[in-house]
Amino acid sequence: MVTAVREAPAPRPWPAATRAGDGAAGPDDGHARRGGARLPPPDERALAALWEGQELVDLPLRTIDGQALEVVSPGHRAPGGGPDFRDAVLRADDGALWQGDVELHGRAADWRAHGHDRDASYDGVVAHLVLDTAGAPARRRDGSAIPTIVLGPHLPPPGSQRATIARPCRAHRGAALDRGLAALSLERLEGKAQALAAAGAPAEPALYGALLAALGHPHNRGAYAALAARLPLDALRPLAALALPARIWQLEARLLGAAGLLPAPTSLPRPDAARARAMRRLAVLHPPLAWRTAGLRPANRPARRLVGAAHVLGRALPAGLAAYLTAPLALATAAARWRALLARLAVVDQTGFWAERTALGRPLRRPLPALVGPARAAALVLDVVLPWAFLSDRARAVETWSAAPPLATTWKERHIQRAAGAARLRGGAVQQGALHVFARWCHRYDCAACPLGGGGPAV
């Protein structure tokens, strides 16, 4: 068993040319060849499908300097900005593991043409997969070179039937798969509860920090955690004495100010400038936190999420955050609990101001009234409220978790569906089980250890 994990080494100098008759992509014409016959290059989407399914031939793969590589895991597709595949694992011929991201291009020159050499998102790339080597070798921001693999010799013949990777979890179908995933989802619930306990639960500041983090995009979790430290819950408790509209207004100003998201009024159009001027008088202004906005959908922009948080906190402060969020769990049925929980966490902008903006001075093309929509509200219940309740009333939390309504699927659940050959995942708890399987085993293609693949406890 290989335990050494190291950064992929820089390749030796870029060759002047690659041979044109051995399946490599030659800079003379930019096409892959096999046996002297020129092959039409697939587009990057088709190339990604071949890599994901590992439908490559004539293995092992080799870097341009001749180092043989075994693909332990191709990684998983990464939606939005950044590299094409995350968490890939390649084993070099000396036994070392290369763990990191993979980027695919038709031409090696596309690395620089797309600006990846200046983008921090690509610093974790360990392999650059190309068809055509023309152009400079790929380099990270610090100038270190990235090993390049030419895929031309490894493309399946034109017209060949695409293979399907056999996954052990395909033995579980339909209701059996749903039962297995629903049972595994309880591990996810308990893990979230343990994380809250480690953060200080049942003390309310832990709940406050978790709520802020879960409101936003995962890329910004660190920034939300820093915000909770900058503006602690204890500093907001006195606002409970205000009337609800004034309380929410104060919370908006303080959250945006602490987040560094209150720009100078002079840089804004008139309506935004007036609001910024009034908010800056109420807030303690800080420099911006390390917010990531590239590739985020408008609904996930930090300013909108923080305004949504102001509404939830504004409703909750008089009763106390924990009491407000967990009160619906006293209802008799799980369905009634879910309706009440979603109503407490969903936020719709009634003023129209934030419905038309992602931030001050940043207009939307079309109105988006929901500051915390039903899907995000449900995520807050699953990621924060029920794990919090699990620490004090395990049975009620598990019963409510198991009755979670179906949610919109993410790429991670769709990955599990493809691997298991499932038409769909039935119910929110089943989806949570799929997310748990992905996080623990599937993103590494560790089928041997996965309970659905025959390892671990039976399901």
The phi, psi pair for 423, rounded to 5°, reads -70, -40
- Report d(CA 359, CA 372) in Å as an integer: 15
Region 127-133: mean pLDDT is 90
pLDDT of residue 22: 37
Angstrom distances, CA of residue 269 to CA of 142, 306, 324, 352, 363: 39, 21, 38, 16, 10
The answer to whether residues 150 and 57 touch, using CB atoms and an 8 Å cutoff, is no
- Domain range annotation of the chain: 32-154, 172-199+404-459, 202-390
- Report d(CA 223, CA 12) in Å as an integer: 39
Q: What is the pLDDT of residues 328-378, one digit of tens each?
A: 999 999 999 999 999 999 999 988 999 999 999 999 999 999 999 999 999
Taking the C-alpha atoms of 42, 44, 47 and 49 in order, what is their torsion angle to the nearest 10 degrees? -120
pLDDT of residue 167: 64
CB atoms within 10 A of CB 394: 13
Phi-psi region of 282 (alpha: psi -120 to 50; beta: other; left: phi over 0): alpha
Q: Spell out the residues 6+ positions from residue 67 whose beta carbon is closer than 8 angstroms to its own.
A: 11, 92, 93, 147
pLDDT of residue 74: 84
Q: What is the pLDDT of residues 9-32, one digit of tens each?
A: 443 333 333 333 333 333 333 344
pLDDT of residue 136: 82
CB atoms within 10 A of CB 120: 10
Most confident of 84-88, 395-399, 434-438: 395-399
Q: Which residue in 372, 158, 352 sits closest to 271, CA to CA? A: 352
pLDDT of residue 459: 43
Q: Which residue in 130, 71, 129, 64 sits closest to 98, CA to CA? A: 71
Q: Position of tokens 């055509």?
A: 132
pLDDT of residue 133: 83
Region 438-453: mean pLDDT is 80
Q: What is the longest distance spanned by two Cα atoms in the chain?
A: 80
Q: What is the pTM of this model?
A: 0.74
pLDDT of residue 25: 36
Angstrom distances, CA of residue 114 to CA of 104, 147, 153, 155: 12, 18, 25, 24
pLDDT tier for residue 117 given thresholds of 50, 70 and 90: very high
pLDDT tier for residue 125 given thresholds of 50, 70 and 90: very high
